[in-house]
Amino acid sequence: MLEPKNDRLCYGEQLIPPDGFDFDAAIATTYSLDLNALLAVPIALCFRNTLDGDLKGEKLALLEAIGQVKGRLKVFYQKGNISYPPKFNRLYTFLEPCLHAVVPEGGAFSSFHPKLWLLRFVETVAGNKKAEVRYRLIVLSRNLTLDRSWDVAVTLDGIVGKRKVNDSAMQSLHVFIEKLIAQDKSFLPGSTMLQELRKVDWQLPEPFNDYQLLIGGGGLAQPLRFDKEHYDDLLVVSPFLKSTGGGIAALDYLATLTSNKENRWLFSRAEELDAIGEEKLSGWQCFAMNPAIVNGEERHEIRSDAAQREIQTQNLHAKLIVARSGSQAIWHIGSANATTAALGDTDSSKPRNTEAMLMLSGKISKRNTIGPQQLLEEWMPEEGSQVFIEHEFSELEVVKDESQTQLLRRTVHQLISGRWILDATLDTSASHYTLTLKTSVDGVDYNKVAVTVGRLDIAGSWDLAQHMLWEDVKLTSISALLPITVKVKNSDLHKRLIIAAKLTIEGGDTRHQQIMREMVDTPAKVMDYLCLLLQVTPDKNDWLSLDSQTGEAGNDGDFMLSGSPVFEQLLIASSRHPQVLKRIDSAIKRLKLAGAEIPEEFSMLWKHFEKGIR
């Protein structure tokens, strides 16, 4: 099930529509968010391509894919938890409408922590046939970032039927999605998704025979479902274990599910195990990831693409609980660590975090080896390399004052709970803007912390004030995303975060059109752009190579006659692939809105085909 060599998932592949279907809409949730990771996601949704390769920067492939998902993708994330990008990208502007920041309901020491995707796909059909609708639910331990840690995920596919499905296992999903959509009514596909969710017949992954999606926190119960009070085996995978104050009450609760230490296994990060100590964990057999894997990139001196990516550790980030009772196995997989914030404790206190876990259960047999023992054999085989090794405890030097850590966390919560309003007004030249930031943040102790604000497009930062001003700003440099740095005074403790302000631009927000006009600024580039869209399945590599082309193109008439057979491609699309014509039509509308120059020869040709678009 989770054999590292054979059972590996590609994030991008999980987002690609099924054969014969097109992406229609999606809702995603994540604790933290990387803007470059989100920029790449539409490549899978719209181009049916994986997310490997260099997809950073201002690339036409990203511009087109983002344009196609406009109004159809909404990502809910914990406010403030956008990672600071190494370089400003004007395309981040296109992501702003896709984002909705969530302030945790449980206060400073709670988190909006679920990690899932709900995707809607519509069958590609011609004529009057009614299109079939399918859904995909992906439950992950992974945030929407470029982190290369070891994570786990499970995917369920479902078909929308004519009648409501009596499926109590997905009741919490319906409630959760309804709650999210209520927070952002601008997401128009939301109402359709809510109506259809109760008609979805979900298909279980083999060899499991029962399932339930469990949403915990936010006033709800634990995101766990154990049908028995005692289990024969228990395996827990959790990178983080400590609660505020250093306790492990949630782990102690899980330990009560089985009485024998010899049948109780704990997999975590080495530093987390050391921070808790051998005495507190004496009731568990403890394992950590093999250091050869954690430090594999550095150990093998991966330098071939050092210019493109930073060498990182590959540590544990998966969250998984597997229990066995007789021949029955029950899995919990998703976002929740074995902490009291995520799971509650032995007193069944309601957890503080909002979490999403998928419970799967099935019967263990010679064919269906889904119990803890099988995972132990896969991760720590007697011969060959081992993913995990038995942990040898060592003492850690405590370097952080817990009170300062709590101060930092409270300050961040106060900042994300405040009001941030950014107004862009035209200056006297009517070509540049003046930015005015107005903030209303309560409770920050500026005697103990320093807070600075910057802009993504330029270096530098300024002390936070209720009113801040930046002058002579280009339209395409305006961003609602504000980089913030919080530093605890007389300490090395600090945090960098990004807060999305409520942005208004005098005269209307035309940033998207301006950026598109600057990126597709000649008739030749427009033709290259449209011809690549004529591919039934756009090839990511063709788009990336277009970005790297240099030199002057010939005139547009020469291109159309001697280059790609545009007329023949349009004929094929009109008879076999009507979705391609719709894609071209959408692109032309965006190009015209941006003021791009469309070659007259193509415009005359297009008039004969646009009539067939329904």
11-203 architecture in CATH?
2-Layer Sandwich (3.30)
β-pairing verdict for 73-78 and 99-102: parallel
Position 305 pLDDT exceeds 60: no
Q: What is the predicted pLDDT for the residue at 565?
A: 77
Q: 222 and 357 in contact (C-beta within 8 Å)?
A: no
How many Cα atoms occupy the beta-carbon half-sphere of 550 within 13 Å? 0
Q: What is the predicted pLDDT for the residue at 386?
A: 92
Span 578-582, average pLDDT: 84
β-pairing verdict for 21-30 and 116-123: antiparallel
How many whole angstroms separate alpha carbon 515 and alpha carbon 513?
6
* Start-to-end Cα distance in the chain: 45
Torsion angle (degrees, nearest 10) of CA 47, 48, 54, 58? 20
Return all residues near 382 (Cβ < 8 A) that are at least 6 apart: none
- In one-letter notation, the amino acid at residue 309 is R
Of these ranges, 34-43, 477-486, 514-523, the one predicted with the greatest mean pLDDT is 477-486
Return all residues near 512 (Cβ < 8 A) that are at least 6 apart: 93, 94, 594
Question: Across the chain, what does the average pLDDT equal?
Answer: 87
Position 441 pLDDT exceeds 60: yes
Distances (CA, A) of 344 to 172, 183, 347: 18, 26, 8
How many whole angstroms separate alpha carbon 451 and alpha carbon 467?
14
Return all residues near 26 (Cβ < 8 A) that are at least 6 apart: 45, 69, 72, 73, 74, 117, 118, 119, 120
Q: Residue 533 — pLDDT band, cuts 50, 70, 90?
A: confident
Q: Where are the strands (E) in 52-102, listed by range?
A: 73-78, 99-102
Position 209 pLDDT exceeds 70: yes
Return all residues near 347 (Cβ < 8 A) that are at least 6 apart: none
Q: What is the predicted pLDDT for the residue at 51?
A: 66
Position 399 pLDDT exceeds 80: no
Return all residues near 144 (Cβ < 8 A) that are at least 6 apart: 28, 30, 32, 33, 34, 37, 38, 41, 75, 77, 115
**Percentage of the chain exceeding pLDDT 70:** 89
222-299+312-390 and 402-511, same CATH topology: no
Position 466 pLDDT exceeds 60: yes
Position 421 pLDDT exceeds 70: yes
- In one-letter notation, the amino acid at residue 437 is L
Lowest mean pLDDT among 34-43, 112-121, 438-447, 481-490: 34-43
Position 561 pLDDT exceeds 50: no
Q: Which fold has domain 402-511?
A: Immunoglobulin-like (2.60.40)
Q: Residue 126 — pLDDT band, cuts 50, 70, 90?
A: low
- In one-letter notation, the amino acid at residue 463 is D
List pLDDT tens digits, range 318-374.
Answer: 999 999 999 999 999 999 999 999 998 655 567 899 999 999 999 998 877 899 999
Position 60 pLDDT exceeds 90: no
| Domains in the chain: boundaries | 11-203, 222-299+312-390, 402-511, 520-610
**Tally of CB atoms within 10 A around 557:** 13
Span 283-291, average pLDDT: 96
Position 304 pLDDT exceeds 70: no
Span 258-286, average pLDDT: 95
CA dihedral for 274, 278, 284, 289, sign (positive or negative): positive
Lowest mean pLDDT among 49-53, 223-227, 498-502: 49-53
**Tally of CB atoms within 10 A around 594:** 18
Span 297-316, average pLDDT: 60
How many whole angstroms separate alpha carbon 98 and alpha carbon 84?
18
Closest CA to 156 of 437, 402, 360: 360
- Check residue 529 and report its DSSP letter: H
β-pairing verdict for 153-160 and 133-140: antiparallel
321: helix, strand or coil: strand
Q: Residue 17 — pLDDT band, cuts 50, 70, 90?
A: very high
Structure tokens at 167: 């499926």
Structure tokens at 197: 């969710």
Closest CA to 117 of 220, 9, 222, 210: 9
Q: Which fold has domain 222-299+312-390?
A: Endonuclease; Chain A (3.30.870)
Q: What is the predicted pLDDT for the residue at 456?
A: 94
Top pLDDT among 126 and 28 is at 28
Backbone angles phi, psi at 117, to 5 degrees: -125, 135
Q: What is the predicted pLDDT for the residue at 562?
A: 36
Q: What is the predicted pLDDT for the residue at 183?
A: 95
Backbone angles phi, psi at 122, to 5 degrees: -120, 135
Closest CA to 352 of 343, 362, 361: 343
Structure tokens at 279: 């005495």
- Check residue 606 and report its DSSP letter: H
